[in-house]
Structure 1
Amino acid sequence: MKKEFSWAEIPESTVDIGEFPYLTPPKGMIVDKDESESFEFDKLEFFDGRQFFVLDGKVERMSIAMEGDKEWEQYLFDKSVSEYLNL
């Protein structure tokens, strides 16, 4: 039987995660500042598998691009996200 996810079971971290927005693009990619947006206060909508919920606060919507004139590599981006999240 699959165990139901619960935020209450996730321990609070004390690790220093750096400065907002906390993420950097994968090697070989850059943040396209002309296409990105920053908001001091906005909302993000999430889905937990059963329902949608909203979190609000400071939000950064990053547009990621390849360095130079290279063509976009979706697999490279997806792989870096999986590795970052340890999926």
Structure 2
Amino acid sequence: GVRLSEKPMCFNKETISCWYHGFTFDLKDGKLSTIVANPHDKLVGTTGITSYPTEEVAGMVFVFVREDDFSLDDVPPLSQDLPFR
């Protein structure tokens, strides 16, 4: 992947784009709004991104991928399990 901070043209107030894959998503609804290499692909407008709870500990980002909703309050503090350098 490519860091978004290195490619400021990857995002604006309406969309965010993956520089590596060439996918652009609408920030309002998460739907795929275009694919640079194939703008007429059947996925455009029919698929999207999903948000998941995250937590940053010791410079690492943990993503909690689950189908059901849950509170991060139910997750034990990760800082107790990870050594800091």
Q: TM-score range by the shorter chain?
A: under 0.3
- Between structures 1 and 2, the one with greater strand share: 1
Q: TM-score, normalised by structure 2?
A: 0.19
Q: TM-score, normalised by structure 1?
A: 0.19
Higher relative contact order (CA 8 A, sep 6+): 1
